Chain A
Amino acid sequence: MSRAGGTWVGARVPRNEDARLLTGRAQFVEDVEPPGALHAAFVRSDLPAGRLRGLDVERARAHPGVHAVFTAADLGPLLRPGAVLVPPPPLEGLVFHARTALPLVRERIRHQGEALAMIVADSRYVAEDAAQLVEADIEPLDPVVDLGRALDEDAPRIHDDLPSNLAAYVRQAKGDYAAARARADLVLERRFSYDRGIGGAIENRAVVAEWDARADRLQVWDTTQAPIPVRNVVAAALGLSESQVRFIAPFVGGGFGPKIMFYAEEILVPWASIRLGRPVKWVEDRYENFFATTQERGQLHEAEISVTREGRILGVRDIFIHDSGAYDPYGLTIPINTQCTLLGPYRVPNYESEFRVAFTNKPIVTPVRGAGRQHGVFIMERLLDLAARGLGLDPVEIRRRNVIGSDEFPYNHEIMYQDFAPLRYDSGSYEESLEEAVRLVGHETFPRERERAQPDGRVVGVGVVNYVEGTGIGPYEGARITVEPGGTVRLATGVGTQGQGHFTSFAQIVADAIGVQPSDVRVVTGDTSDFHWGTGTFASRGAVVAGNAIHAAAQSVREKILRHAAKALEVDPEDLELADGAARVRGAPDLSVDLGALALSANPLRGAVEPGTEPGLEATSYFGPPYGTTANGTHAVVVAVDPETAMVEILRYIVVHDCGTVINPTIVEGQIHGGVAAGIGNAFYEELVFDEFGGTSNASFMDYLLPTSTDVPPIETAHLETPSTLNPLGTKGVGEGGAIPVAAAFAQAVEDALADIAPGLEILDIPLSPGRLFELLRGAS
């Protein structure tokens, strides 16, 4: 395959990584089993709140095949609270109480699934047998389950040393909302809720550790999105040098956020391997995953919007409570995302937003695809829908009147974003994306279509909503590119990969710079022995931050190639072009030299490397953006609602998006498809149900409903490309955009469908299960 002009960025290159994945030969952590490996299982608390009075592990220790049972008492200096991974931004008036968990419970149990003991045995089967023999004496405490009451004065306290369950308080504002409200023609205020869900990677977490006492080295395979930071934390905790510890995140079976977290198992499994002198393997099972892996998104909002008669936004006020679960190791990323993303692509001259973060006796909340942005979008888009209804305006029209114009960039919202930088939009296409979505869904003709009776008694509605996605935040990523003597190009970068197609899109960037095929570029991600600077794969930043680091490194290698080739061919570097794996003289393609040969000569075994130069065709570069780049888009959805059964079917789903320069449209579309599916799950199917005692009632895939192929419609996509002004490639992130506005689009469409049957019906709570819609319909009739 060859492309004219040598431009791979922008091409639909099939993925380099597929053949291994499709034949079952790609290595996932669970596939790693060093000889002599022992298997770990954890004894976890069934109760969400309690005091551990005693733990009898003697029967478990004596069970045949058990090698060790560890409790908090065995951990020594490891028994200290985990790190706060993301500190809160320096905001005026900020309150933030950092509370993180111990690796194993010493006394206080704060959520279901907290680990009480670790069992290491010959097999996972035996380890689970032994786990049943552990007897825990737990004094149950009153759990804090209901978010709406978590901050009540008489609520049981989750962290005794704090005066209440308040974990944080943040207020951000611009303009003067009260004044804006006073001159508004219409003020609407509503309460909204947006409930919890799981990340839902099909691969659960896993850690395999092998301590090699003779080599004095620790090797760990881990399903992490952040191998380098995790390696550094583990090395420090175990008193090892970072260079003694190698973390490998091989193929990872989906990340979606929770695998960015740092978990106790990531220390305990390596620690056990050192202690026992044997490799130790732990694979989380699906049941554990519902408690031991982090979750996202319980929020309660009280929001209001003030608009003029013409539908112009004068201001928005939003006060919300965010459920952090039992601890808050990820700081304030999610609620700040909510607070900032609420403003969306709109001019909001006056904004007042404050949130309280509450501790509850539920599993820990950290970012999951969207990371709180969907909440903000849901609130804003719903407020606009209600305002439009109140003013007799079309929902599309009210959006047209408020979106930021293409001539208004960079646009400053005058509040602070999660990356500690001001919330500024670098570029965007808000008007164009809205109009394109309207055109694709046929919105102008839609009301007439709706009047046409459906033969099966169902009613049809349409929803069109906008979103922005803050992506590609810093601090930095790096990349090292090496041309090997065989002509293969090796690219190593610090981010991990969980299916985003990095082996291909990163290769495309390199291929463009040095004139090779993407399939000639061997990409290594997530192995600290290959690259040990970087933060990880999160916040839709891989293609932006790592992508531009790769671009920079590729340009440096290009220059080295040209310099060496000019010397070898005795021509001026300006007369050379790089193509088909060789440097050749423009207009005289017979005068050429292979990259492999150049690589060999650049690393001679005898002779001298010129002073002031480096051996080899290799370069390492880093990229750190000044602040995050903002992607945008519009979703349009058509639904059919059966008013008799309250079942909703999505007939069409359209995504118009703008993530700047598209490296690989096929991969970008894949990201969007997956994001939309996750959004559909959040909007309609997925809900964690907690009983009155704080236990999760649906900790299985039978009762926690991930959408499947019959629930997700075909998805139509259209790309707009407004390059970012913040990086040389012009890329913006796209990993989460698909998921962010789905609930808002869905709610507008369902209300539209039911406009004649239940004119006053308002959808203010997500997820909207059919049971909930049934109750709404009953209430409206």
Chain B
Amino acid sequence: MKPPPFEYVAAASLDGALEALAEPSLETRALAGGQSLVPMLNFRLAAPERLVDLNGIEELARVEETESGGLRLGAMVRHLRLERDPLIARRAPLLAEAAPFIAHPQIRSRGTVGGSVAHADPAAELPAVLLTLGARVRIARRSRGGESGSRVERTLDLEDFFLGPFFSALEPDELLTAIEVPPSAPGEGTAFDEVARRRGDYALAGVAARVRLDSRGVCDEAAISLVNGGATPCLMREAARTLVGAEPTPEAVGATAAACAETCEPAADMHANEAYRRHLVRTLTARVVSRAAGRART
């Protein structure tokens, strides 16, 4: 279980990284925290010819407040920071709540938000949490022939970023540079929970929810995302809509949970079959949405 040989580039700047990635004759790959990529290399399930190490790029490691009061998380912000940074706890408490569910401290000290999102693993916590928060991703690449300027950037809704299991909208020469989380609205509550075999394992199923209540206690916006609820990290738009316009009573929440369980498309694997996963989605959705609604009330 030793990695195959590769060429190593320690990028010192974003432009340097983009240039090193955009080498058409080579299979290149960005190395962020490496907590998913390096095991794949050690098992020899991946064999990129060039690894572009992003760990030295200071500009990708920043947590900033946006003009609108939201958050911009650089791709290289590590999971551990989600747990510890007071600004994140204030602006997006759901991130701080969910971060401890990601593997173990030794993984969180290296693993990054950008790496986790770019990996597009339907079993990962962060993509689901960020979907619930309505996040957008910033993507950059070096200009291709004929394009003006040195760098081309685009922004995508996170929902449009995930295309399949471990498959995203990123082109080979592109790099996910930042994640933008919109500001939370007044009257909003969020919650996360999952069922995993062991602490730190990928969840059998997990649910992230955001519920906004108006002054009468009626839900006027809801978002629910699932971990391991489908082929991609998935936002359950239809199911969440069933809660809008209603008070989040146990019955209403139960109906939403049932809708979630019905419409999700979980895969079966050795740890849980499809029926069990649906059942967990239902149970967890009811619990998590109730908790989010409770927080919205206070």
Contacts and interface: CB of A to CB of B under 8 A. Distances in A.
Direct contact, A vs B (beta carbon within 8 Å)? yes
A769 interface: yes
Given A644-B283, A771-B272, A129 B5 contact: yes
B125 to A, nearest CB: 15
Interface string A19-55: 0000000000000000000000000000000000000
A774 B276 contact: yes
B44 A132 contact: yes
Given A132-B44, A645-B283, A685 B198 contact: yes
Main secondary structure of the interface of B (DSSP, over half): loop
A645 B2 contact: no
B43 interface: yes
B276 A705 contact: no
Interface in A751-773: 769-771
Interface string A274-316: 0000000000011100000000000000000000000000000
Q: Which of A129, A697, A774 has the most CB of B within 10 A?
A: A774
Contact of B198 (A129, A132, A707, A771): A707
A769 B3 CA distance: 33
Interface in B163-213: 195, 197-202, 204
Given A685-B198, A698-B270, A770-B204, A129 B276 contact: no
Given A647-B195, A685-B197, A705-B198, A771 B273 contact: yes
Contacts of A644: 283
A703 B198 contact: no
Nearest to B286: A644
A640 B5 CA distance: 49
Interface in B39-68: 39, 43-44
Contacts of A125: 2-3, 5
Contacts of A645: 195, 280, 283-284
B245 interface: no
Nearest to B270: A689
A688 to B, nearest CB: 10
A711 interface: yes
Interface string B259-270: 000000000001
B92 to A, nearest CB: 26
A124 interface: yes
Nearest to A647: B195
Contacts of B283: 644-645
B280 to A, nearest CB: 6
B4 interface: yes
Contact of A711 (B199, B202, B270): B199
A287 B270 contact: no
Q: Which of B4, B201, B270, B275 has the most CB of A within 10 A?
A: B270
Interface residues of A, number: 31
B271 A771 contact: yes
A646 interface: yes
Q: Which of A129, A645, A689, A771 has the most CB of B within 10 A?
A: A771
A445 interface: no
Contact of A646 (B43, B198, B271, B276): B276
A774 B279 contact: yes
Contacts of A702: 39, 201-202
Interface in A691-713: 697-698, 700, 702-703, 705, 707-708, 710-711
Given A646-B276, A770-B204, A703 B2 contact: no
A769 B199 contact: no
B197 A708 contact: no
A118 to B, nearest CB: 17
Contact of B4 (A129, A700, A707): A129
Contacts of B276: 646, 770-771, 774-775
Nearest to B284: A645
B197 A770 contact: yes
Contacts of A778: 275
Contacts of B197: 685, 705, 769-770
B62 to A, nearest CB: 31
Contacts of B3: 125
Contacts of B271: 703, 769, 771
B1 A287 contact: yes
Q: Which of A644, A705, A769 has the most CB of B within 10 A?
A: A644
A242 interface: no
A326 to B, nearest CB: 22
A102 B80 CA distance: 50
A687 B198 CA distance: 14
Contacts of A711: 198-199
Contacts of A703: 270-271
Nearest to B283: A644
A288 to B, nearest CB: 8
Given A129-B4, A286-B1, A774-B276, A705 B201 contact: yes
Contacts of B2: 124-125, 128
Interface in A88-132: 124-125, 128-129, 132
Nearest to A687: B270
Contacts of B39: 702
A523 B6 CA distance: 47
Nearest to A691: B270
Contacts of B204: 770
Interface string A702-728: 110101101100000000000000000
A120 B214 CA distance: 71
Given A124-B2, A129-B5, A708 B199 contact: yes
Contacts of A705: 197-198, 201
Contact of B1 (A285, A646, A687): A285
A142 B258 CA distance: 43
A287 B40 CA distance: 13
Nearest to B201: A705
Interface in A122-153: 124-125, 128-129, 132
A749 to B, nearest CB: 19
A484 B197 CA distance: 54
Contacts of B270: 687, 689, 697-698, 703
Nearest to B1: A285
A711 B201 CA distance: 12
Contacts of A774: 275-276, 279
Contact of A128 (B44, B198, B280, B284): B44
A342 to B, nearest CB: 30
Contacts of A710: 198-199
Contacts of A128: 1-2, 44
B198 A287 contact: no
B252 to A, nearest CB: 19
A702 B107 CA distance: 13
Nearest to A131: B44
Contacts of B44: 128, 132
Contact of A708 (B1, B198, B202): B198
A702 B4 CA distance: 21
A770 B276 CA distance: 9
Nearest to B3: A125
Contacts of B284: 645
29 contacts: A125-B2, A125-B3, A128-B1, A128-B44, A286-B1, A287-B43, A645-B195, A645-B280, A645-B284, A646-B276, A687-B270, A689-B270, A700-B43, A702-B202, A703-B270, A705-B198, A707-B198, A708-B198, A710-B199, A711-B198, A711-B199, A769-B197, A769-B271, A770-B204, A770-B276, A771-B273, A771-B276, A774-B276, A778-B275
Given A124-B2, A770-B204, 4 more contacts: A128-B2, A129-B4, A645-B195, A770-B195
Closest 3 CB pairs of A and B: A710-B199, A285-B1, A689-B270
